[in-house]
Structure 1
Amino acid sequence: MDFCRKQVKADCEELLRRFQQTQSVRFEIFARIWRKMAFSQIFQPGSQSPHEKRKFSRLILDMASVFFLPPFSFQIRVGGLYLLYSLYQCQSASPSEQIRLALKDWADVKMFEKDAIEAQHFDVVYILKQLMFCKAFHFTAMPSQLAYNRKRNVERSPMDEKFMERVSRPQELINIELLDEMSNIHQHYDKLKTSTLSLTSPQSDPSINLIRKNLVPQLRKTVIDFYKWQKKKSSRRAELLAFIKSKAYEQAAEVCVIL
Structure 2
Amino acid sequence: MDNFRGPVKADCEELLARFQATESVRYEQFLEVWRDMNFSSIFYSKPEANERRMFARLIMSVASPYFFPPYTFQIRVAGLYLLYGLFNSQLITPKEKIRIALKDWEDAMQFQRDAVNAQHYDVLYIFRKLLSDKAFYFTAMPTPLCYGEKKEDRKKTEICEEFVDPSSRPQELITTDVLEEIGNIHEHYEGMKKSIFAEPDPNLNLIQQNLVPKLNGAILTYSSWQWNRTESEQQQDAGEGPSNQESSRRAQLIASIKSRSYGQVAEASKSRRHRQTQLVPADGADFSQKLPSKKKRSPSLKTRTQLRFNTQGNESEGLTRLWCLSAVKEEKAPEKRKKKFNWNPEKSSDPS
Higher Cα Rg: structure 1 or 2?
Answer: 2
- Code of the residue aligned with 1:114 in structure 2: it is R
- TM-score after normalising by structure 1: 0.65
User: Residues 100 and 138 of structure 1 are in contact (CA less than 8 Å); yes or no, is this contact kept in structure 2?
Assistant: yes
- The 1:11–1:167 alpha-carbon spacing in structure 2 relative to 1, beyond 3 Å, is same
Unaligned runs of 5+ in 1: 173-206, 224-259
- Code of the residue aligned with 2:120 in structure 1: it is H
Q: Does 1:106 find its partner at 2:115?
A: no
How many Å separate the matches in 2 of 1:38 and 1:54?
Answer: 21
State the partner residue of 2:9. 9
- The 1:105–1:3 alpha-carbon spacing in structure 2 relative to 1, beyond 3 Å, is same
Moved over 6 A (4+): none
User: Residues 74 and 165 of structure 1 are in contact (CA less than 8 Å); yes or no, is this contact kept in structure 2?
Assistant: no
- The 1:9–1:84 alpha-carbon spacing in structure 2 relative to 1, beyond 3 Å, is same
State the partner residue of 1:20. 20
State the partner residue of 2:64. 65
User: Residues 46 and 52 of structure 2 are in contact (CA less than 8 Å); yes or no, is this contact kept in structure 1?
Assistant: no
How many Å separate the matches in 1 of 2:215 and 2:118?
Answer: 29
Structure 1 or 2: larger helix share?
A: 1
Once the two structures are superposed, what CA deviation does each residue of 1:121-172 show, in whole Å capped at 9, x if it has no partner? 0000000000001000000011111133332431135221121244416469
How many Å separate the matches in 1 of 2:53 and 2:153?
Answer: 25
- Code of the residue aligned with 2:161 in structure 1: it is E
- Code of the residue aligned with 1:111 in structure 2: it is Q
How many Å separate the matches in 2 of 1:127 and 1:139?
Answer: 18
Unaligned runs of 5+ in 2: 173-201, 220-352
1:94 CA displacement: 1.0
- Code of the residue aligned with 2:44 in structure 1: it is Q
- TM-score after normalising by structure 2: 0.49
How many Å separate the matches in 1 of 2:210 and 2:111?
Answer: 37
How many Å separate the matches in 2 of 1:46 and 1:63?
Answer: 16
3-state SS in 1 of match to 2:45: coil
User: Residues 73 and 166 of structure 1 are in contact (CA less than 8 Å); yes or no, is this contact kept in structure 2?
Assistant: no
CA-based RMSD: 3.1
- Code of the residue aligned with 2:60 in structure 1: it is L
Alignment of 1:40-189 (within 5 A): 40-49=40-49, 51-147=50-146, 148-168=148-168, 170=170
Matched residues, percent identical?
Answer: 52
- The 1:101–1:214 alpha-carbon spacing in structure 2 relative to 1, beyond 3 Å, is closer
1:112 CA displacement: 0.1
How many Å separate the matches in 2 of 1:5 and 1:32?
Answer: 25
